[in-house]
Every structure is written in C-alpha cells, then in structure tokens.
Amino acid sequence: MKNEKRHEMKYRFEQSAHVYKLYVYDDVRADGKFNWNTWEYEDSETSAKYFRDRLEEIPDGADIELHVNSAGGEVGEGVSIYNLLVQKKKAGSRIVGYVDGMAYSVAMNIIMACNEIHMGLGTSMFLHNPWTCASGNAEQLRGIADQLDALADASAKLYMSRAQNLEEDELKEMMRKETMLTPDMCRQYGFCDFVGESTEGEPDDPDNDPEDPDDDVTKPDERDQLLQQLREQLYQQKQINRMLHGIGSRPQVKSVFAKAVQINKQRKGE
C-alpha cells in the first residue's frame, strides 16, 4: 500500500512470563534516522532517554533479558545506558545479556552491565579506542584528542570492572590495536560467561578450552577482513552523519533536496 509506513525493528520492548526483554538491534545514538520527507530526525529507539523511559516501566526486582546485535554508536549514549542498567541491578533486578550477533564498540560497553552474558556461536565482540570526526583550529583539535584519551581511559575502567585474566595495560593495547573477540576469547577474558547452548548450572564443553588456540575457529585472515569491513562501515556512517548535519544548516541545499523528494514521489504516483 502506498501510504503504509514500514517499521524496522531497532529496539524492542517485550514482557513474557515475568521476564522483560530489551533488544538493541541498531546503532546506539541520541537521534534517530534522518527523514527525507519531513526533513527532521526521527526519535531514536536506542538513546539513553528511550532506555530510561523503558526501564522505568519495569518494576524493580523484575528479571530482564538484554539482546544485543549492534555495531556500536555514540559513546555518551552507550555509557549512559550501561549506567542505567547498573542502577536497575542495584534496585534488585537480574539482567541476563545475550549477544545475538555483534556487540561492537559501545554496544560491548552496554552489555557489560549484565549479571551474566551469553554469546551464541558465530557471534563476536569488538574493542577499540573511541574516535570522532572533528574540525577546528590546532588548539581545538588538540583538546578533542585529549577528550578522546579520557573516553578511552573511562572505557578501559568499565571493561576492567568485569575482566578476568587480563591486566589493564593489556586491555588498553587491545583497544589501541582494535581487536575482534570470538566467544571463546570473551569467555577467557571474562567478557561473557556462556558460549553456545550453555546455560546457568550447565558446564561448558570440556573440550572447548578458552586457552586452547585450536578453539579459535576464526582464522587471522578472516578476522582482518571482518575488522576492515567494520572500519569501513563506521567510517561511512560518520561521513553520512556529517553530510546530513551540514545539509540541515544550508537552506538552499535543503530546498533542492526537498524538491527532489517531491518529484520522486510524483513519479511513483504517491
């Protein structure tokens, strides 16, 4: 139907058998996607404000499942969501996290708030130092670099609150090199508790030793390829965001794009 609006699941809130389920299946950001028809940003369903509102609807002490499949996003929003989840735990709720696909960048920060973390087969986490797109004079850019260093240190402290068998200097080096983590590597370092079908009270496969290099089924070349794809995806998203913000501040460009959208609708008979 021409006027039917399509909805893509970015965030989902579900109550089932006294367990409240939260789903993060999109980039973490304060603003939603840019709507070319209204020329405004849609409300974000992965913002800290949205999570605050949803968590307030959940009774203190209730069980929560957090499902994550996200390439990351804005550090401030993700860290705020992490702390909102920690506050909910302190109010008596038990939060069980599930990595359904990716928990990259600040999405990995978020899931660290859970009481226990499960990773499905083929899933992964990704560590890196925060980065941004910036403009300004030399003094301003040096200031931004200092801010990024502070964010990196804060993220390292967050990860270390859950890490095992890992020194902080080692973690920071992993962040500097940008490291893709398999489920077994995450379990070894304390970033997850169960891999595959394992559940609470069930022992993991004894043949699946996290310290055994043969268990890392992802070959180095494959990891490098995945890492490069992620870098390209993050770069493209940042460039698109910069372009959209730039367009919004230039009325003459805005008018041209608005007319183009209208013409496209007319051609489709909408």
168-177, 220-229, 233-242: range with lowest mean pLDDT? 233-242
The whole-number average pLDDT for the span 161-185 is: 96
Q: Mean of the per-residue pLDDT values for the chain?
A: 80
The pLDDT score that the predictor gives to residue 259 is 57
The pLDDT tens digits of the residues spanning 31-81 come to: 988 889 888 888 888 999 999 999 999 999 999 999 999 999 999 999 999
Query: Over pLDDT 70: what percentage of the chain?
Result: 66
The whole-number average pLDDT for the span 161-178 is: 96
The pLDDT score that the predictor gives to residue 139 is 93
The pLDDT tens digits of the residues spanning 90-101 come to: 999 999 999 999
The contacts found for 5-8 with CB under 8 angstroms, 24 or more apart, are: none
Domain boundaries 11-215, corresponding CATH code: 3.90.226.10
pTM of the model: 0.69
The pLDDT score that the predictor gives to residue 42 is 87
Say how far apart CA 235 and CA 222 lie, in whole Å: 20
The pLDDT score that the predictor gives to residue 207 is 45
Taking CA atoms, 16 is separated from 19, 65, 120, in Å, by: 5, 10, 21
Residue 88: closest CA among 20, 185, 165: 20
Residue 127: closest CA among 82, 154, 159, 100: 159
Residues 6 or more apart whose CB falls under 8 angstroms from that of 260 comprise: none
